[in-house]
Amino acid sequence: MKNRLSSFIVSTDLKACVASLRPALIAVVLMAAFFGQGDRMVATAMKILPPYFADAAAVTSLIVQPVFLLPACLLLSVAARIRSGGLKLSRLGLFAFSSGGVALIVSLVLKHAIGRARPDVSLNLDPFIVRPFAFDDAYASFPSAQSACAAAVLIGAGMIVPRWQRPLHICAVMLCGARVLTGEHWVSDAVAGWAIGWLSVMALSRLAPSRG
């Protein structure tokens, strides 16, 4: 009986783990589908869009830069703890900050190790140019660190407050898309960033359950 119970628990945990990884796996498939020619086609289309699309995306990207977004999460957590009954809001801020921080660090390490060139007309919009460990912003495209951080913060917040989950996830996708509209990233960069954000949230939620 004890063995059966242990097997059931392990099986349940495994199913939950696979279910939590499914969105990231879908993102990896999508990233692979766009990587290369798909990236180039989208980047070419971005160059002929009216400038106000890129301008709006640039403003949105500026607001949610990690240098603003992560301190805002931390301040939210501190401010919520000061007032009575703000424990859940404090946990939201702290979990979002932790998730965003982990995603940012992972994506920064990867992007400089890989050294993929950003979408650049002078480079013929070639998505296959890489200079590993160049430590040059022009060769720090994959994955998008800002997409990873923003996705982790919003997905993490949605995990703490389930009723906000759907709109927050939609916002995460839109913010990742904004990085493509600005011409700073290929589609696969933004998708990879989103996947890192998701995985960061899932990993931290295992270490410190976020519900309740």
Residue 25's pLDDT is 85
Domains of the chain and CATH, by start: 23-207 (1.20.144)
Burial class (CB in 10 A: 0-12, 13-18, 19+), 132: exposed
> Does the predicted TM-score (pTM) go above 0.85?
yes
pLDDT at 186: 95
Supply the pLDDT for residue 135: 93
> How confident is the model at residue 16, as a pLDDT?
61
Instruction: Quote the pLDDT of residue 84.
Output: 61
Query: How is residue 208 written in tokens?
Result: 């410190």
CA distances from 49 to 43, 54, 187 (A): 10, 8, 16
pLDDT along the chain (212 residues), means of 10: 43 62 85 90 88 88 91 88 73 92 97 95 90 94 96 93 92 93 94 96 77 44
